[in-house]
A and B are shown apart, each in its own frame.
Chain A
């Protein structure tokens, strides 16, 4: 009986994934490496799969300390990935990784540091030592540092930037105040950039990876034993001290509309931001469905209101934004005909309000099916699978939820969406409104600013 059931399962998987080489394919299990790293492993034994992905995240508290330079995380990660090793120049590293069809990536958010490497199993012995050097023993060379700082300085110093860029920068000052998080995210403070030193990068590197990752995942053409060896080769031994975490303050949304006045601007923009719950409540999939129902494609309520009926814009978008894991928002934004700005603001708020309390959910099955299809198609890939499992871990969810993620989306019903809309999505009156353009006269009650930092006082 058991054998029969297994045969049936294999037949189904065969059509879905051309798989079933053995019983470990896409089975997720927890392991501990010889050095003590705890990781999730999902072997993929399907035909044609030769890559291995290691994806990890570390908690960081760098921005908690006002004495820490907020430029350091981004400068350090760029130096790590592009600065070469003691034995290989930056060009040699690049050449080797390209030759072996491998990559390494490191990036910093306010609360987490993400790292991901991928390489074909047959090049493991050549590539892993180099990636380990990049990661554990970065060459923080002064000439490379000057070059990177120079490029960032020039970008930060540009005054004549697009008004969308400036409007969102103003929004971050309004939400986060003159904080390290605002400076980190905006990346415009040239004085702080000039003050950043290689010693600070070394301190950041030493502090950031002295404790165990908060999520560590291995996927692809690999077994448990090899995965443990790879993890131990790539990462320093896990420290025993618990990771310090980022003090994420609640989003402080301004009550007054903020209008960035640029008299010379030839166009206008409007943006709305509302707070959403932490992704650790496990409902961000419902949020994605809701965003698509409200704004996905022509005939959506937002498209109808703002383009079909008002003719005010080419299109508006809805995005789910993570300023950090605990600081989430829903952002509605678009370019608007300057003369129609007041009507556009009112039309968006009315459409959102009506959708939130009385949504037309005729498209629900269609939308959930499409999102589920797209997740299934993405899960074919080794690195996408690693990222999905990593995100589940960071949300403190069961990594086994990976297996049911598309079905869970496909099965969402009207009640689940309606409940989430009123329980998690803010009332229209609680949306913060930001605008930018040449003519603030239509918004007499707005806080009018001419530089982004003036948003601090709104």
Chain B
């Protein structure tokens, strides 16, 4: 195998019909994992909620069963922002594997009977992941309030009733509008060389042609809305809960690399027991929250959502905990602790330096970005952004999160 030494996946640029092809050379595995990712997910779907995921099931059936072998090591994922199909086979089957994955853009080859059966399977998948989650309805309602009924409020699985209304005809329409090879990215990982990938793609003489105009890859923004506080009662929970979510546009003049660097510092600072963190005032010094967790997650590349879940400690009311969360979050974001900022930043840098296999870590970052439709930031870029992050710049970042585009808090009692 003749590959340059690299600690990041290699971009081969636009190749064949694909928008971009990536190769992660790995000699520590015997097979080649190949994925094709389309930049369309549930947020792009103009039809019934969850149809993008149902479509993925139907397409995956074609991909995995197209040949005599290879179906065993296959999978597919749908996210709000993207759809991805994956096959893992021997290196000498690389050309055939790419062809099979590219056939995900060919007209759907399933019949009506199969489509009906697979709709039932999607119902079982809903049963598995969501039916008995006591918080499911609360989160669905929360997304509705946070995103004002826009495409951003949609769940990838849909609902029991929306699933029951899926049709093969609608799935075909969505397929034609989203599965275009010209927008797809191909990702290969395994014991193969760049030139073999290029040759394999060049040896394929026929590709699926588009049958309809593609949907827009950009999803219109959700409406702005003031904070909404809702009381709710849920059964099946062990403890009452305060759940807060706030949406934001990306901070202006920040690259996504900077956003991820500052986000990592902010989240770790918030969870920290250090001065300025939330752990001591909420959980250790005062027994206000028995436990809490938080995060700041990208919405594709359109914005971010901050969330915090906290369980009140004994004899603490939901209102008191909610007030304490508001007060501590305002302090965290408005006046972050400078000393702690540098300590956390240095700890994060040290943690990045301790990654034993940067190529594997970068490969996982790329794969995650393809699935989630978020920006791909390499470890070295992330490290540089973190290293260059001054306290003043970090403050600009945290102050941005004092003004949400929309916000909702749920005070959840246990029935």
Contact = CB atoms under 8 A, between A and B. Distances in A.
Given A162-B132, A267-B131, A311-B121, A147 B238 contact: no
A337 interface: yes
A13 interface: no
Contacts of B71: 297-299
Contacts of B132: 162-164, 267
Interface in B46-99: 64, 71-75
Interface string A136-147: 000000010011
A408 interface: no
Interface in B119-155: 120-122, 124-125, 127-128, 131-132, 134
B206 interface: no
B351 interface: yes
B293 interface: no
A49 B354 CA distance: 8
Interface in B15-35: 27-31
A403 to B, nearest CB: 16
Contact of A151 (B134, B285, B290, B356): B290
Contacts of A337: 120, 124
B92 to A, nearest CB: 13
B356 A267 contact: no
A90 B284 contact: yes
Contact of A49 (B30, B121, B272, B356): B356
B273 A95 contact: yes
Contact of A157 (B27, B75, B238, B285): B238
B87 to A, nearest CB: 10
A147 B287 contact: yes
Given A101-B350, A373-B29, A158 B285 contact: no
A202 interface: no
Contacts, number: 117
Nearest to A373: B29
Interface string A311-354: 11111000000000000000000011100000000000000000
Contacts of B280: 91
A381 interface: yes
A419 interface: no
A369 B30 contact: yes
Contacts of B350: 101
Interface residues of A, number: 55
Given A48-B356, A158-B237, A163-B132, A147 B290 contact: yes
A377 interface: yes
B239 A95 contact: no
Contacts of A163: 132
Contacts of B28: 16, 373, 376-377
Interface string B311-334: 001100000000000000000000
B127 to A, nearest CB: 4
B356 A311 contact: no
Interface in B257-296: 272-274, 279-280, 283-285, 287, 290-291
A358 to B, nearest CB: 19
B74 A89 contact: no
B131 A266 contact: yes
Given A160-B134, A313-B121, A94 B347 contact: no
A22 interface: no
Contacts of A296: 72
B381 interface: no
Interface string A9-49: 00000011000000000000000000000000000000011
Interface in A260-302: 266-267, 296-300
A273 B243 CA distance: 39
B342 to A, nearest CB: 12
B32 to A, nearest CB: 12
Given A314-B124, A314-B128, A95 B272 contact: yes
A154 B239 contact: yes
A281 to B, nearest CB: 28
A100 B38 CA distance: 41
B236 interface: yes
B213 interface: no
A74 interface: no
B112 interface: no
A99 interface: yes
B6 interface: no
Given A49-B356, A94-B273, A95-B274, A314 B121 contact: yes
**A49, A50, A98: which has the most chain B beta carbons within 10 Å?**
A98
A370 interface: yes
Contacts of A101: 347, 350-351, 354
A430 interface: no
A157 B237 CA distance: 10
Contacts of B118: 311
A267 B291 CA distance: 31
Contacts of B128: 314-315, 335
B343 interface: yes
Contacts of B124: 267, 312-314, 335-337
A160 B72 contact: no
Interface string B345-371: 001001100101100000000000000
Contact of A160 (B64, B75, B236, B343): B236
Contacts of A150: 290, 314
Nearest to A382: B356
Interface string B224-237: 00000000000111
Interface in B166-197: none
A99 B356 contact: no
A441 interface: no
Contacts of A442: none
B117 interface: yes
A89 B284 contact: yes
A147 B313 contact: yes
B124 to A, nearest CB: 4
A266 B73 CA distance: 31
A95 B356 CA distance: 24
A287 B287 CA distance: 47
A380 B28 CA distance: 11
A151 B238 CA distance: 8
Contacts of B31: 366, 369-370
B146 to A, nearest CB: 26
Contacts of B290: 147, 150-151
Contacts of B343: 99
A91 B279 contact: yes
A267 B347 CA distance: 47
Contacts of B122: 314
Contacts of B283: 91
A51 to B, nearest CB: 8
Contacts of B74: 297-298
Contacts of B279: 91, 94
Going nearest first, the 3 A-B pairs with the smallest beta carbon separation are A91-B284, A299-B71, A91-B273
Given A91-B279, A98-B273, A363-B72, 7 more contacts: A101-B351, A147-B287, A147-B314, A150-B290, A162-B236, A366-B73, A373-B29
7 contacts: A51-B354, A101-B350, A151-B291, A160-B235, A298-B74, A311-B118, A377-B29
